[in-house]
Amino acid sequence: MHINTKETSDRIFGELIKQRLETGNPVGCFQFFENKKLIYEDHNIVVGLGREYLAQKTTSITAITSASSGSSGSGEDLRDYDLTHYAFGAGGATANGITYTLLGPDVCDASLEIPISFNINGFLDEPGGITGSESIYTYSKAVKPIVYPSGNNTYETTLRDYPTEDPTCSYYTQMIFTIYKEAGEFDLLGIGESVPVSEAGLYITNTGTGGTDAKLFARICFPPKFMELEAQYGIEWYVLA
């Protein structure tokens, strides 16, 4: 269930194509909603491994097979991975009263700083392997499938031709992910309790061999938002590759 209208999404992608042409790298942005009301927006980072993944999927060449030519990379074969999961965390910002300081994201990120567990069997572990002082701050069962039997998550990919100076290189892939913290999730919280969420991640998983291994594809950070057990929050996440 998308939150934005098609017109708003088209406008956002129109702005992203300018950044994509300037940087030469996948770019993106996100909007954070409470009860479908926009409360924050900013850019996202497709991290280094995420960019390597996209390169391998489009060329079928890995850092392993091209190492003799001096290439650098993770050394992992990511061609059997797909972009399938997401997670929330509490390590994306610090707050002092009404002021806040973002702590990322960075292209070298490999995990969230403080993942928050959904505590649902079958959800994957966050790759950072980090556990905080509270039981809800743990990597265990923290990474949720975007496609899930219940809830309102959606994602779509669209090949789009944008006008450029070089018409042979004007095709880009638009991706829109609408991901939710649904009412009732984060059930390690008690009634009336909340958790300060300030980061989120998209993950690729090894679907070709069972889908048990999650790796960070992109990360966003935003001012801490105290999410209650009973409340729903949504993120509209845009990536132009």
The structure's pTM equals 0.90
At 164 the pLDDT is 64
pLDDT along the chain (241 residues), means of 10: 91 91 88 93 93 84 54 77 97 93 96 97 96 94 95 90 64 91 94 94 94 96 95 95 84
Every domain of the chain and the residues it spans:
6-64+74-240
At 91 the pLDDT is 97
Is the preceding peptide bond at 105 cis, omega within 30 degrees of 0?
Answer: yes
- Angstrom distance (rounded) from CA 151 to CA 107: 30
Closest-CA residue to 139 (of 80, 91, 209): 91
62 within 8 A of 55, measured Cβ to Cβ: no
At 73 the pLDDT is 64
